[in-house]
Amino acid sequence: ENVSLQASNPGQFEHDSDVLWQRGAAPETIAYHGRVGINTDAPDEALVVCGNAKVMGRVMHPSDSRAKQNIREVDTNEQLRRITQMRLVEYDYKPQFASVMGIKDT
Domain assignments of the chain as residue spans, ordered by start: 22-57+73-101
Q: Which residues partner with 21 through β-bridges? A: 32
- Say how far apart CA 66 and CA 43 lie, in whole Å: 31
Confidence (pLDDT) at 82 = 95
Mean pLDDT by 10 residues, the chain (106 residues): 47 56 87 89 90 88 84 94 94 87 74
Q: Among candidates 37, 32, 31, 29, which has minimal Cα distance to 8?
A: 37
Question: Would you tell me how many other CB atoms lie within 10 Å of the CB of residue 35?
Answer: 14
